[in-house]
Amino acid sequence: MVTSPDRFWWGVATSAFQIEGTGDDVPRGESVWDEFCRRPGAIADGSDARVATDHVHRLSEDVALVAGLGVDAYRFSISWARIVPGGSGPTSTAGLAFYDRLVDELLAAGVEPLPTLFHWDTPLELEQAGGWLERDTAQRFADYVEVVAAHLGDRVGHWITINEPREVTMLGYALGAHAPGRQLLFDALPAAHHQLLGHGLAVQALRAAGATSVGIAMSHEPVRVVGTTDDDRSAADLYDVLNNRLFADPVLLGRYPEGFADLMPGSVEDDLRLIAAPLDRYGVNYYSPAFVGAATGEGADVNGVTMPDGLPFAVHDVPPGWTGERTDFGWAVAPEDLATLLVQLRERYGADLPPIVVTENGCSYDDPMVDGHVQDDRRTSFLAEHVAALRTAQEWGVDVRGYFVWTLVDNFEWAEGYRQKFGLVHLDPDTLERTPRASYAWYADHIRSSR
């Protein structure tokens, strides 16, 4: 039975590369992240995701943890390289069977499956042919989506096409901090366009397969101006365009911000008609605001990402004089900015904005285990304050229909490796034993009391 998209969904989220591992009995092809992990110094702790949380062998245990929260839905991603190992060509029956089992066990546990079809793990062969800089990758993505939708569509009604195209573009192609590790700066813009085109083609394929509802998951940062000058405000506005509107405007309005369509490849106007296909939900991933002021001409390290010299704005991890809390990742804790962001989206896009689902929100805190128990009060406070901010946005008239915590269990946190602990469930790095933290119990209790 498919859950109505009109009700409010409580959920929890993961992604394939970060948890699954590479078990020989459930093989997958290599992705750009496998290659990136082999580069000296690319991953902060020198690790890789060959084992990750070993989800491929602990699927039932993890589904039980999901169900134990009492969530309505579980947002997971499907590994493109596990379904189509080379990115195009033959389909893996073992890969499809793995996701068959996951979907069936979720449904048997009373949890709605919410698959994301691309969460950063581009098949390596496609990247070697140009990756998202090439238009063909968007079509290969659509072909893969057709396969998955045809196979799972009898049990899965709700889908997310792409997760955070901004991060792939900016961190992967522009700055080189993430896979594929290119440093193209503004020449990375074709990667943005081709991911959005892939999204549009995927929507088309999912609709043809009878999908009940379709959405996308976008990362958004409300931008706080650092400084008081016109240059500070102009720099913050440009950052907002590049990191928020460049990705949202094409999807929601069918156009790029002024001047950017001319920088994109191909028949942009025709592509935009596909990119702006109507959606049933708009996913918002929120962690922290951005603090931006006038350019200084000098690069800086911002929460582990090296910002090069010569950018037209200066990004700060926190503003001068910041006295607020920061997570163990160094990110500013600002729950009020979630409410600000949701209202801003409604004001900016009006009737063109579908109902919002907060598809990711969470924090990294490494509280110690004592006698088999992790009392992670900071994470509990973080989640409680952000849920309260979401409720405030609803009171202010924003149509928000879901909240998904990132993440279920400590995992491979991309370029940070295993240093950052986002899980409601603690993972022992040696034994892979899962131990629910106090925040897990808080979230389960909150969900029960909210119904």
CATH for 9-449, options being 3.20.20.80, 3.40.50.20, 3.40.50.300, 3.10.200.10: 3.20.20.80
DSSP codes joined into one string, 41-69: TSSTTS--SSSTT-TTTSHHHHHHHHHHH
Q: Map out the domains of the chain as residue ranges.
A: 9-449
Average pLDDT over residues 55-80: 98
Question: What proportion of the chain, given as a percentage, has pLDDT over 90?
Answer: 94
Based on the number of CB atoms within 10 Å of its own CB, is 279 exposed (0-12), middle (13-18) or buried (19 or more)? Answer: buried
Average pLDDT over residues 20-28: 90
Beta pairing, strands 223-225 & 281-285: unpaired
Beta strands of 14-141 (E only): which ranges? 73-77, 112-118
Is 317's pLDDT higher than 90? Answer: yes
Task: Compute the C-alpha angle 243/413/61, nearest 5°.
Answer: 125
Among 105, 112, 125, 360, the active-site one is 360
What radius of gyration do the chain's Cα atoms show? 20
Average pLDDT over residues 415-425: 98
Element housing 281 (H / E): strand 281-285
- CA 211 to chain CA centroid, nearest Å: 21
Based on the number of CB atoms within 10 Å of its own CB, is 85 exposed (0-12), middle (13-18) or buried (19 or more)? Answer: buried
Provide the pLDDT confidence category of residue 302 given band limits of 50, 70 and 90. Answer: confident
Average pLDDT over residues 263-274: 98
Burial annotation 337-352 (CB, 10 A radius, 16+ → b, else e): bbbbbbbbbbeebeeb
pTM tops 0.85, yes or no: yes
Is 1's pLDDT higher than 60? Answer: no
Q: What is the pLDDT of residues 354-394, one digit of tens each?
A: 999 999 999 999 999 999 999 999 999 999 999 999 999 99
Question: Is 360 a known active-site residue?
Answer: yes
Is 5's pLDDT higher than 60? Answer: no
Q: What is the pLDDT of residues 185-231, one digit of tens each?
A: 999 999 999 999 999 999 999 999 999 999 999 999 999 999 999 99
Note the pLDDT of residue 375: 98
Is 4's pLDDT higher than 70? Answer: no
Question: Is 164 a known active-site residue?
Answer: yes
User: Angle between the 93-108 and 135-152 helix axes, to the nearest 10 degrees?
Assistant: 50
Among 125, 164, 221, 413, the active-site one is 164
Beta strands of 164-275 (E only): which ranges? 213-219, 223-225
